[in-house]
Amino acid sequence: MVSACLLGRACRYDGASKADPAVIEALEGQGVVAVCPEELGGLGTPRPSAELRGGDGLAALDGRASVVREADGIDVTAAFIAGARAAARRAEGARTAILKARSPSCGCGATHIDGAVRPGDGVFAALLRQRGVRVMSDETLRARRPLGPLHIHPMVMGTWAFGGWFWGGFDRGQAVRALHAAADAGVNLVDTAPLYGFGDAERLVGEALRGRDVMVATKCGLRWPDTLGEGFSEAQAEAVGGPGVYRCLRPESVTLECERSLRRLGREVIDLFQLHWPDPDTPIADTMGAMLRLQERGLIRAIGVSNVSPDQLREASAVAPVVATQEAYSLLDRRVEDGLVDACEDLGVGILAYSPVASGLLTGRLTAERALRPGDKRAERPAFAPARRTAVNRALARLEPLLEGRTPASLALAWVLARPGVAGVVFGARTPAQVIENLDALRRPLSPEQADAVARLFEGPEPP
């Protein structure tokens, strides 16, 4: 059993109605067993007016646990708690509890997640957490998108910044808390690579996610410190980590990198294994053959590519079941629309969009006068020259009527999420607060008309 999922009733903690068949079908399609806690039935609607009292410690976990039967006003808090405990005992050993979202109008005052009321403020959720069970809204589950054998949350957390270079360093404790915040919010795929910190990011991800039901995607094809394959140009080398990095996708190298990544991650299987950059000296068919053998050995679940052309994607897909290609995609970089999106649609390949806010340019926070921290390599790139920042910020200012309370970064992420063929958006975050801000893009999607209006502001004879 992958996990046990408990499905409650909308507007209630008590699970009085039967579990939603559509949710059960979605769960069973992912190999998950669904359980409905029927013993919680018929106990009424939660009210935010009273707090639990007594020595059971629940008051500290939930201050809105009083349950009142609407028909006669009889307080049945004790009965509800007994039922919740019984259901929670049934969840022993479960890894995830899926609670059906309550209506925002039920008056519980809870935080809104994914457009629904977060099912984490109730007694039942508190009891589940005491037993080490992760609590998730069924709205989060419904948001997941198919990616071959995987079903992923559309917001994928990237870890390039956890490599310690290019971005001017990071705080390890904050990075771990950011990963935990993403997982707690329903993000179920984290993307990393051996090159990020030369193995450090993979080790951090492995340690932070140990025991958590989160998938990991990593990559192969960029080697150090040996000189196998083709070296990057000076400009490319600076972008990927400095001199001494070589592109190598020979079959024996792909196998070795997979085994090394498994050790660094502390895992028995990699959920999505991707080639990082094509190797001009190795036929793609040879690389894909090696990946296919790794899949047959059970070391990887799914195969992906990255930074490829439409022809390279077709060549790779002719040999192995490629499920994803990871590509730069943002309002400032739409090169994937020149044939690659169509190729993905033809082949059934999902796009994982990286740099969706153009490495920070689309956040609106990089003014021409702002000095980047020491070690932040963006300061050396022409795209981050003061004149370029000014032009981008001028375009962002025109977005003001479309923000409707969003941040520019959230709007830019929502735009990429709405693009055809996009299965997931790889966002970067170094703190829990940044995670929450990024996830706002999913909670507030753009309509097709809004997405078109946003795109038009970044088009024309003088795009930013």
Show which residues are catalytic: 196
Query: For residue 8, what are the contacts with CB-CB under 8 A and spacing of at least 6?
Result: 14, 15, 37, 40, 99, 100, 119, 124
CA dihedral sign, ordered 35, 130, 268, 150: positive
Phi, psi of 272 (to 5 degrees): -140, 115
**C-alpha distances out from residue 446 to 104, 172, 402, 413, Å:** 20, 34, 10, 10
Q: Are 114 and 102 in contact (CB under 8 A)?
A: no
Q: Are 432 and 185 in contact (CB under 8 A)?
A: no
In 3D space, the residue among 437, 427, 428, 370 whose CA is nearest the CA of residue 407 turns out to be 437
Write the burial class of residue 228 (CB in 10 Å: 0-12 exposed, 13-18 middle, 19+ buried). middle
In 3D space, the residue among 309, 152, 178, 163 whose CA is nearest the CA of residue 245 turns out to be 163
Token pair in block for residue 417: 């999420």
Phi, psi of 185 (to 5 degrees): -85, 0
- Number of residues in the chain: 464
- The amino acid that residue 148 corresponds to is G
**CA–CA separation, 44 and 129 (whole Å):** 22
Residues of the chain by 3-state class (helix, strand, coil), percent to 5:
40, 20, 40
| Helical residues (DSSP H) of 277-383, grouped into ranges | 284-296, 310-317, 340-347
**CA–CA separation, 316 and 285 (whole Å):** 6
Query: For residue 309, what are the contacts with CB-CB under 8 A and spacing of at least 6?
Result: 339, 340
**CA–CA separation, 269 and 309 (whole Å):** 28
Count CB atoms within 10 A of the CB of residue 7: 22
Long-range contact set of residues 312-315: C-beta below 8 Å, sequence gap at least 24: 312/278, 312/284, 313/340, 313/343, 313/344, 313/347, 313/349, 314/343, 314/347, 315/284, 315/285
